[in-house]
C-alpha cells in the first residue's frame, strides 16, 4: 500500500484489476477450463469469483487463508484492501460497492457457500469474531486442525461438494506459518499451518471432481533468496496438487 495514495485511488486501482481478472476468468470458464490465477493480494479472488459466476452461478468457495479478510476499509486501521476480500464477497456493511457489485449478482457469494480453512481471527477482533455467524459461514480455524489436517480437509471437501456444482480454492500463502515458509507478502505474527500440512490439504481439495479452479495470492519474491528456493518449492507443491486431480488449469496472467 502506497501511503501517498488516497483510499479512493486505491479502490479505483483495485477495481480496474478485479474487472480485468473477471473478464479473463469468464473466458476460461466458458471454455470449460479450470482457471489457475497467480495473483497479488486477496482482492484478486473477488475478480475470479465475479468472472466465474458469469458462466457458473452454482459455486462454492474454499478460503484457505491465515485470516478471514472480513474487515471493511472503514474499520481497518492499516487501510489495506487485501484484508477485506471476503467482506466484499458477502457484501459486509460499509464495504466499497465498486468492488462488492462488480459481478453478476449481489452479494457475490452467500456466506453458507464459503468454507474458511486454516484461519485465525484478526483485527478488529470483535468484528471478526461475529462475522461468520452473521453471514452463516462455518469453517475450520487453525486451532481445530492440530493433528487432523487431512481428516478436516476431507470433511470440508465433502461439504463443498454437497452444496454446489463447482468450488474454487482461494489459497493465500499466509495460511502457512511464516517461520516455516517465509514467502507471504505480510508477516502474520500468529500460528499457521506447516508447509507440508497446507499442501496435504490442498491436494485433498484439488482431487475433487468438483474442483473448479485455484487462486494463489500473496507470494512476495523479495522474500526469496537469489536462487528462488521458495518459488521452486511453491511451484513444486502446486504442480503436485494439480497433478493429483489430473486437472490442466488454464493460467490467467
**pLDDT digit string (tens) for 162-194?**
999 999 999 999 999 999 999 998 776 678 999
Q: pLDDT tens digits, residue range 197-250?
A: 999 999 999 999 999 999 999 999 999 999 999 999 999 999 999 986 655 566
Contacts made by residues 186-191, CB under 8 angstroms, sequence distance 24+: 186/80, 186/82, 186/218, 188/66, 188/67, 188/120, 190/66, 190/120, 191/120, 191/142
pLDDT-based confidence at residue 251 (cuts at 50, 70, 90)? low
pLDDT at 129: 87
Residue 1, number of CB atoms within 10 A of its CB = 12
Mean pLDDT of 19-34: 96
Q: How far apart are CA 131 and CA 1, in angstroms?
A: 25
What are the distances in angstroms from CA 229 to CA 33, 149, 183, 215, 223? 30, 25, 10, 21, 10
Mean pLDDT of 39-61: 95
pLDDT at 253: 53
Q: Which helix (H) or strand (E) holds 37?
A: strand 35-38
Q: How far apart are CA 214 and CA 238, in angstroms?
A: 10
Q: In this structure, what C-alpha cell is assigned to residue 184?
A: 507471504
Q: How far apart are CA 62 and CA 180, in angstroms?
A: 23
Residues 56-79 as b/e (b if ≥16 CB within 10 A, e otherwise) read: beebbbbbbbbbbbbbbbebbeee
pLDDT at 225: 96
Q: Output phi, psi for 196, to 5 deg.
A: -60, -45
Query: The domain 7-24+39-245: what is its CATH number?
Result: 3.40.800.10
pLDDT at 250: 63
pTM for this entry: 0.92
Q: Per residue, what are the HEC states of 64-102?
A: ECCCCCCCCCCCCCCCCHHHHHHHHHCCCCCCCHHHHCC
Enter the DSSP assignment of 148: -
171 close to 215: Cβ distance less than 8 angstroms: yes
Q: How far apart are CA 104 and CA 35, in angstroms?
A: 19
27 close to 80: Cβ distance less than 8 angstroms: no
227, HSE (Cβ side, Cα atoms, 13 Å): 2
Strands 35-38 and 250-252, sheet pairing? parallel
Mean pLDDT of 117-137: 88
> What is the average pLDDT value for the chain, to the nearest integer?
91
Amino acid at each position: 500500500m502506497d501511503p501517498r495514495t488516497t483510499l479512493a485511488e486505491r479502490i479505483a486501482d483495485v477495481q480496474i484489476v478485479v474487472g480485468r481478472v473477471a473478464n479473463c476468468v469468464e473466458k476460461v470458464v466458458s471454455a470449460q477450463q479450470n482457471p489457475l490465477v497467480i495473483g497479488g493480494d486477496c482482492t484478486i479472488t473477488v475478480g475470479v469469483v465475479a468472472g466465474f459466476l458469469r458462466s457458473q452461478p452454482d459455486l462454492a468457495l474454499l478460503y484457505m487463508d491465515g485470516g478471514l479478510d472480513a474487515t471493511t476499509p472503514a474499520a481497518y486501521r492499516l487501510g489495506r484492501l487485501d484484508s477485506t476480500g471476503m467482506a466484499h464477497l458477502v457484501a459486509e456493511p460499509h464495504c466499497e460497492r465498486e468492488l462488492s457489485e462488480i459481478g453478476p449478482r449481489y452479494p457475490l457469494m452467500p456466506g453458507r457457500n464459503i468454507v474458511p480453512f486454516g484461519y485465525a481471527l484478526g483485527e478488529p477482533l470483535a468484528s471478526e469474531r461475529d462475522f461468520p455467524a452473521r453471514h452463516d459461514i462455518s469453517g475450520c480455524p487453525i486451532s481445530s486442525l492440530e493433528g487432523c489436517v487431512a481428516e478436516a480437509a476431507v470433511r470440508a471437501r465433502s461439504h463443498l461438494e454437497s452444496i454446489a456444482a463447482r468450488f474454487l480454492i482461494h489459497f493465500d500463502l499466509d495460511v502457512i506459518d511464516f517461520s516455516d515458509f517465509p514467502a507471504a507478502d505480510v508477516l502474520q505474527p500468529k500460528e499457521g499451518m506447516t508447509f507440508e500440512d497446507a499442501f496435504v490439504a490442498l491436494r485433498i481439495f484439488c482431487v475433487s471432481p468438483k474442483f473448479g479452479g485455484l487462486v494463489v495470492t500473496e507470494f512476495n519474491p523479495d522474500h526469496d533468496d537469489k536462487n528462488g528456493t521458495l518459488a521452486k518449492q511453491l511451484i513444486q507443491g502446486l504442480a503436485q496438487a494439480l497433478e493429483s486431480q489430473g486437472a490442466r488449469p488454464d493460467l490467467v496472467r
